[in-house]
Amino acid sequence: MTDEKPKSHGRLSISASVKPRELMSDTPRIKGAWTAKIITLFPEAFPGTLGLSLTGKALDMGLWALETIDLRPFGDGRHKNVDDNPSGGGAGMVLRADIVGKALDEAAIGTPPDRAKWPVVYLSPRGKPFDQATARRWAEGDGLTLLCGRFEGVDERVLQHFGIEEVSLGDFVLTGGEIAAQALIDATVRLIPRVLGNQASTEEESFSDGLLEHPQYTRPTLWEGRAIPEVLLSGHHAKIADWRRGMAERLTKERRPDLWRAYCAKAGRDPDEDREL
């Protein structure tokens, strides 16, 4: 068994332990703060990048909370085995349903059973691709339980039994779910009020209105012979807004025809229109 002390990493809002229930009580956090519970064989991977910058500051302030549930202590026997050979043969190992099930039972303690309020998610390349709409939906709930896979993944039965939603970070295969978990949590907690400080910035950025964001510039005005587009220095707010929208549309049309078609359908516009952007 690993130590049972809270691994505070200097932060009040993280608990990592084989007995999350007990530790939660000596883990101060703002009551009702959005909480991510992460089942993982590598709790030391957290908070990772989530402990930095704005998400880290918000974590310190208790605006959201992180709780890791170490899968290892739920393992079987002296060696705390968590995996076994795939039924039917083949390479690799599979995380056992009974072991993962015990960790999920532990995670369910103190969380609402309503999946709309508290989704239970398995990170998986087979899942629905994660997007901004999912981040928004999750940020509106009370929290989230994330199951990080390793090896060849987890026994299918545990996913069915617990009614687990499978979500993918993208069409590639990672070694484990931990990096994906951090990416998903980052995208979600930055939408929680006060985490970013400047709420307006989430309203204008990529995907929020179905378009990619316009290009950004800052000083110096001239760099390596390249000037900042003049309109941005004009102080003319309406013209700047027009330019930004035009650029956002052009970039979206060029780079993401799928988003562009969806945007045009919503706005009742012809995606093939030849208007000068």
Cα–Cα distance between 103 and 39 in angstroms, integer?
7
What's the min distance (Å) between Cβ of 181 and ligand SAH?
8
Closest approach of Cβ 149 to ligand SAH, in Å? 2
| Min dist. Cβ of residue 224 to ligand SAH (A) | 37
Q: Which residue has the tokens 């992460």?
A: 38
Least distance (Å) between residue 208 CB and ligand SAH? 23
Using rule CB under 6 A, residue 69 touches ligand SAH: no
| CA 189/CA 191 separation, integer angstroms | 5
**Closer residue to ligand SAH (CB): 107 or 148:** 148
Q: Residue 173 or residue 238: which is nearer to ligand SAH going by CB?
A: 173
180 belongs to the binding site for ligand SAH (CB under 6 A): yes
Site map 113..142 versus ligand SAH, x via CB under 6 A? ----------xxxx----------------
Considering all CA atoms of the chain, what is the largest pairwise distance in Å, rounded to the nearest integer?
Answer: 71
Q: Which two tokens stand for residue 242?
A: 């027009």
Q: Rounded distance, CA 122 to CA 16, Å?
A: 19
Nearest 5 degrees, angle CA 106-CA 175-CA 169? 80
CB nearer to ligand SAH: pick between 156 and 242: 156
- Piece of the chain touching ligand SAH by CB under 6 A; list 4-12, 97-105, 112-120, 147-155: 147-155
Helices (H), the chain: 20-25, 53-60, 97-108, 132-139, 156-161, 178-189, 200-204, 237-255, 257-267
In the 3-class helix/strand/coil scheme, how is 10-47 assigned residue by residue? CCCCEEEECCHHHHHHCCCCCCCCEEEEEEECCHHHCC
CA distances from 37 to 9, 34, 50, 85, 261 (A): 17, 10, 14, 27, 37
**Residue 165 touches ligand SAH, criterion: CB under 6 A:** no
133, 172, 235, 274: which one binds ligand SAH (CB under 6 A): 172
Query: At its nearest, how many Å lie between ligand SAH and the CB of residue 127?
Result: 7
- When the beta carbons of 183 and 262 are compared against ligand SAH, the nearer one is 183
Q: In the complex, which residues of this chain contact ligand SAH (CB under 6 A)? A: 123-126, 148-150, 152-153, 168-170, 172-174, 176-177, 180
